[in-house]
């Protein structure tokens, strides 16, 4: 009975990834090194360019602060009567003018009168005071002792050729009586935010009527308006000539 003895001799160990890399030829290693150097250099230049671009934007934004203010004429138009306040849409296409008998819209492009929307409950009142607004929300003081808040909107529309046109629209609030004797309201001020607005109007000698309107959204998604009024006596000897909200 015999047997054969077998011997297993260890073969060459597989090269590790690091050893395989360093085992490449000199030309391949130089090629990889050149690519890595190029990537690092390009990344550095991109960072430098980004910093320079940020500095350029900062300088461009603050540069106008060092220039002298100037005024240039964009357009001109003729109103039907002397305007008490004006405002325009963001595209400089339409403009509204608060005039003694109401609000009129004009076209800056055509320099012509366009429309005079009817205001609800206007009756035969005249505008005797105005609290202007940069947000197209003027409050009018009327000759019959009321204040009349008006929200003016400019809606852009586009036709089939993508040509833009501006559609002005009036959303009038309910007028509020502040002078019981029906005398004209000549002095008033207001402030408006997303929660509502407040109106202060002189209601008599040394007296100011303060009207607060708050907007609240209900669970049904509708908006509820709450109006509060109070009269403030101002302890001054002379006549009130100006008011402003702080």
Question: What is the model's pLDDT at position 73?
Answer: 83
Token representation of residue 29: 């290693």
Residue spans per domain, the chain: 25-57, 124-233
Residues 6+ positions from 75 with CB-CB distance below 8 Å: 92, 108, 109, 111
Q: Give the pLDDT mean for 175-187.
A: 92
* 162 has pLDDT over 60: yes
* 11 has pLDDT over 50: yes
Q: Give the pLDDT mean for 21-48.
A: 84
Q: Give the pLDDT mean for 212-237.
A: 85
Q: Give the pLDDT mean for 130-149.
A: 94
Question: What is the model's pLDDT at position 184?
Answer: 94
Q: Give the pLDDT mean for 205-213.
A: 90
CA–CA separation, 93 and 190 (whole Å): 27
* 221 has pLDDT over 80: no
State what percent of residues in the chain have pLDDT above 70. 90
Q: Give the pLDDT mean for 32-57.
A: 93
* 200 has pLDDT over 80: yes
Question: What is the model's pLDDT at position 27?
Answer: 83
Mean of the per-residue pLDDT values of the chain: 86
Confidence of residue 150 (pLDDT cuts 50, 70, 90): very high
State what percent of residues in the chain have pLDDT above 90. 48
Question: What is the model's pLDDT at position 1?
Answer: 47
- Say how many C-beta atoms besides its own lie within 10 A of residue 100's C-beta: 14
């Amino acid at each position: 009975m015999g047997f054969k003895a077998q011997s297993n001799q260890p073969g060459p160990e597989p090269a590790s990834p690091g050893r395989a890399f360093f085992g490449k030829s000199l030309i391949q290693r130089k090629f990889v090194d050149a690519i890595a150097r190029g990537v690092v250099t390009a990344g550095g230049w991109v960072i430098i360019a980004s910093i320079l671009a940020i500095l350029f934007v900062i300088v461009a934004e603050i540069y106008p602060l060092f220039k002298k203010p100037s005024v240039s004429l964009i357009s001109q138009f003729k109103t039907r009567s002397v305007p008490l306040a004006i405002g325009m849409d963001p595209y400089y296409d339409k403009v509204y003018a608060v005039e003694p008998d109401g609000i009129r819209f004009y076209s800056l492009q055509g320099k012509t009168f366009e429309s005079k929307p009817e205001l609800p409950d206007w009756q035969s009142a005249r505008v005797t005071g105005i609290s202007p607004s940069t947000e197209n929300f003027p409050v009018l003081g009327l000759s019959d002792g009321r204040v009349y808040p008006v929200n003016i909107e400019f809606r852009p529309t586009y036709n089939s050729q993508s040509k833009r046109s501006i559609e002005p629209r009036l959303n009038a609030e309910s007028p509020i009586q502040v002078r019981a004797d029906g005398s004209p309201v000549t002095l008033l001020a207001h402030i408006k935010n997303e929660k509502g607005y407040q109106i202060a109007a002189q209601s008599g000698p040394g007296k100011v009527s303060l009207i607060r309107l708050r907007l609240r959204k209900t669970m049904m998604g509708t908006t509820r308006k709450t109006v509060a009024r109070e009269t403030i006596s101002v302890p001054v000897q002379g006549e009130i000539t100006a008011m402003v909200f702080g």
